[in-house]
């Protein structure tokens, strides 16, 4: 005897997810649900892209590199004496950079966008480090 997903006996020829439907799995309802879930995933992906676009219309890896390049010139020289800096980039990104020991190399150690969303991964993946001078 087969069982449906709820652990009840499954009648022959009925769907195991929708035991009231006289169709083998996947039944029409299953197919509709799968289709709907695919559409939802596509929608979620698009929403995420739109979200980033709303923050920065040209958001992509190239942008993050440019942002960091711009950061370099925005750091006041006196601040460079400190080994750790928090930089507010036009309210769009809050980026923390740390000076590497015994070098002029600075690396991004934390990054948030203006909505408080952690975007360090995006910056980390861009593998940017730079010289302070
Ligand atoms: Zn079904």
pLDDT tens column, 51-99: 666 655 555 555 555 555 555 555 565 666 677 877 776 677 787 877 7
pTM of the model: 0.40
Rounded CA-CA distance 96/109 in Å is 6
Distance 9 CA to ligand 1 centre (A): 15
pLDDT tens column, 92-130: 778 787 777 766 666 778 888 777 788 777 666 544 444
Distance 10 CA to ligand 1 centre (A): 12
Instruction: Give the up-direction half-sphere exposure of residue 22: CA atoms within 13 A in the CB hemisphere.
Output: 0
Distance 44 CA to ligand 1 centre (A): 24
Instruction: Say how many residues make up the chain.
Output: 133
Q: Answer for the pair 79, 85: CB distance below 8 angstroms, yes or no.
A: yes
Rounded CA-CA distance 122/112 in Å is 10
The stretches of 1-133 forming alpha helices (DSSP H) are 28-55, 61-74, 120-125
Give kind and range of the element (H or E) at residue 10.
strand 9-10
pLDDT tens column, 20-56: 999 999 999 999 999 999 998 888 778 777 766 665 5
């Amino acid at each position: 005897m087969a069982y449906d997903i709820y652990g009840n006996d499954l009648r022959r020829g009925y769907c195991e997810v929708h035991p009231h439907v006289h169709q083998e799995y996947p039944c029409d309802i299953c197919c509709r649900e799968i289709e709907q879930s695919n559409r939802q995933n596509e929608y979620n992906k698009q929403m995420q892209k739109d979200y980033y676009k709303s923050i920065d219309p040209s958001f992509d890896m190239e942008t993050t590199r440019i942002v960091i390049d711009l950061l370099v010139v925005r750091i006041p020289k006196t601040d460079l004496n400190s080994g750790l800096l928090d930089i507010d980039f036009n309210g769009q990104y809050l980026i923390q950079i740390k000076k590497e020991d015994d070098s002029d190399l600075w690396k991004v150690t934390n990054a948030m966008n203006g909505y408080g969303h952690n975007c360090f991964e995006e910056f980390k993946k861009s593998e940017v480090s730079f010289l302070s001078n």
